[in-house]
């Protein structure tokens, strides 16, 4: 979605609000099973002393799969966005700077990039998730399994002394 910023560039007093749904097919993460609602980006673009700032939030309600226990859980991800928009001829080495295309900006591309960069690398159903038993596969969040402690084979001879 291209936003025309011509009026904002010419008149610094003008503020340009935006509201758009991000394309889910560009937000494919292995642990995200589905988006309950399309991710929604809302905010405003301002001209502050000749520098264009895009600020806002992206909110996504997701159905995720826990990386430790494999259970499905619902999660809400909220990403704060604060980036600078610069002309095509300016330096683009700064990751918080996005280029304009003439007097337009591809808001979909900018916001999708910000959402992807802010996404967690690990999805957990809860912070203290215990995961699965390595031997029987039982979900340890539901209670202990009956496997008992595994004895290091190097100490098996010493266990015989206890018998």
Residues 113 and 141 placed together within one structural domain of the fold: no
DSSP 45: E
Position 99 confidence tier, pLDDT thresholds 50, 70, 90: confident
**Residue 137, Cβ density class (10 Å: 0-12 exposed, 13-18 middle, ≥19 buried):** exposed
Predicted confidence at residue 90, as pLDDT, reads 61
Across 58-69, average pLDDT: 95
Predicted confidence at residue 59, as pLDDT, reads 97
**Whole-number average pLDDT of the chain:** 87
Range of the domain at 158: 132-163
Position 115 confidence tier, pLDDT thresholds 50, 70, 90: very high
pLDDT at 125 over 70: yes
Predicted confidence at residue 91, as pLDDT, reads 59
| Higher per-residue confidence, 12 vs 115 | 115
Position 95 confidence tier, pLDDT thresholds 50, 70, 90: low
Contacts of 116 (CB under 8 A, 6+ apart): 27
Across 89-99, average pLDDT: 69
Q: What is the DSSP string of 74-143?
A: EEEEEEEEEEEEE-TTS---STTEEE-BTTEEEHHHHHHHHHHHHS-SS--SSTT---B-TTT--BGGG-
Chain centroid offset of residue 121 CA: 8
Across 39-55, average pLDDT: 90
Query: d(Cα 112, Cα 148) in Å, to the nearest integer?
Result: 47
Residues 102 and 52 placed together within one structural domain of the fold: yes
| Higher per-residue confidence, 122 vs 50 | 122
Residues 103 and 150 placed together within one structural domain of the fold: no
Residues 91 and 125 placed together within one structural domain of the fold: yes
Residues 45 and 81 placed together within one structural domain of the fold: yes
pLDDT at 35 over 70: yes
Residues 81 and 22 placed together within one structural domain of the fold: yes
Number of structural domains (the chain) is: 2
Q: What would the two tokens of residue 159 be?
A: 């266990």
- pTM here is 0.79
Residues 91 and 11 placed together within one structural domain of the fold: yes
Residues 107 and 119 placed together within one structural domain of the fold: yes
Q: What would the two tokens of residue 124 be?
A: 């957990």
């Amino acid at each position: 979605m291209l936003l025309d910023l011509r009026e904002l560039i010419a008149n610094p007093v003008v503020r340009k609000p935006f509201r758009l749904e991000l394309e889910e097919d560009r937000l494919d993460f292995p642990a995200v099973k589905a988006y309950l609602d399309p991710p929604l980006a809302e905010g405003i673009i301002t001209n502050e002393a000749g520098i264009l700032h895009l600020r806002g939030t992206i909110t996504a309600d997701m159905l995720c799969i826990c990386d430790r226990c494999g259970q499905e859980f619902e999660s809400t991800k909220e990403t704060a966005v604060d980036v600078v928009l610069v002309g095509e001829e300016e330096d683009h080495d700064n990751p918080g700077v996005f280029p304009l295309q003439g007097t337009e900006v591809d808001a979909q591309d900018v916001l999708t990039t910000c959402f992807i960069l802010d996404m967690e690398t690990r999805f957990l159903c809860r912070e203290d998730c215990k995961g699965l038993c390595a031997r029987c596969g039982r979900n340890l969040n539901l209670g202990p399994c009956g496997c008992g402690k595994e004895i290091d084979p190097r100490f098996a001879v010493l266990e015989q002394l206890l018998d």
